Amino acid sequence: MKTKPIFTLLIFSSLIFFFIGSCANTKYAEQTKKIPQNFVPAKHLVFIGLDGWGGAYVNDANMPTVKHMMSNGAWTLDVWGVLPVKSWPNWTSLFCGAPPKERNREDFPSIFTLVKNNEQTKKSAFFYEWTEFQKICPNDAVEKQEILSDVKSAKKIAAYITEQKPVFTAIVFNEPDAVGHAKRWGSANYYAKLAEMDALIAIIEQAVKDAGIYDNTVFMLSADHGGSGYGHESNSVKRRKTPLIVFGSGIKEGYAITSPVNIYDIAPTMAALLGMDIPPEWTGRIVYEIFK
């Protein structure tokens, strides 16, 4: 008896899905082996993103809190963003572990849904200034709160961390992007705004100390894109490359990351830091160099 074409197609599709999933799981299993066996997953992770913060502008910036985290953590100023060089494709790549062309469905997993579905996770929060972030994951995946790039909002975030002690806190400020567009990337105004943002990061770091969770927290700092002149949409190094700074429990100190890093490698690295399994749909890699 001949096999019906649709039945054959279903079997073939299932085998392909199984093969892809097995390859993905094998890939992450091999990467995980490169993480030291004595690494203890962080109990808390704080991600802070600055929109429009180019890697080219870090060294000359007056950012003592950031520089302290670099000196005592692992870092690179050469994270490659995706094309086009715009906020939405890059922020979603950062939080979803894959570039836009590889995210082929609406319910594609993000770090927020991953944390929500983990049995060990108790609370997570997402503070953002750009209202488009409401779309990045379902409302029940994370507690969402809108903020501004100011001291009042930083203190609001600090109070939340001190009181709630969330396992995962994601914060995305809309600066220095707005100043870059208005006054030019690399201008005195741009660097002044970076100094202001550093002060906000210091408030958040202090909150983690006040919460009594500092010794088992990892901080991650990054961005969606850089910029030059008054914009960021064309493809150039200053516009595409951003920093990644990882600081805290179990992280190498004063270590310059040497391997290439893409923006969609950040979500798998966050998952690994929290000791979570990585979805097979994610194509980013763990930046295993950062672990002690």
pLDDT tens figures, 271-290: 999 999 999 999 999 999 99
Structural domain that includes position 141: 39-290
What value does the mean pLDDT take over residues 126-155?
A: 96
Say if residue 192 is in the same domain as residue 269.
yes
Least confident span in 22-26, 78-82, 88-92, 226-230: 22-26
Looking at residue 32, its pLDDT comes to 64
218 pLDDT exceeds 60? yes
Say if residue 74 is in the same domain as residue 4.
no
Q: How confident is the model at residue 247 (pLDDT cuts 50, 70, 90)?
A: very high
CATH of the domain at 130: 3.40.720.10
Looking at residue 34, its pLDDT comes to 76
Say if residue 130 is in the same domain as residue 186.
yes
pLDDT tens figures, 4-34: 454 444 444 444 444 444 554 555 666 666 7
Say if residue 77 is in the same domain as residue 104.
yes
Looking at residue 118, its pLDDT comes to 87
Give the rounded distance of the alpha carbon of 36 from its chain centre: 22
Q: How many structural domains does the chain have?
A: 2
Which has the higher per-residue pLDDT, 264 or 7?
A: 264
Say if residue 1 is in the same domain as residue 56.
no
Looking at residue 15, its pLDDT comes to 46
Say if residue 198 is in the same domain as residue 280.
yes
Looking at residue 20, its pLDDT comes to 46
What value does the mean pLDDT take over residues 237-249?
A: 98
Say if residue 43 is in the same domain as residue 140.
yes
Looking at residue 195, its pLDDT comes to 98
Say if residue 22 is in the same domain as residue 98.
no
3 pLDDT exceeds 80? no
Say if residue 22 is in the same domain as residue 147.
no
Say if residue 181 is in the same domain as residue 279.
yes
Least confident span in 20-29, 154-163, 184-193, 244-253: 20-29
Say if residue 112 is in the same domain as residue 245.
yes
119 pLDDT exceeds 80? no
Query: If you average pLDDT over every residue of the chain, what do you get?
Result: 91
Looking at residue 33, its pLDDT comes to 66
Say if residue 9 is in the same domain as residue 152.
no
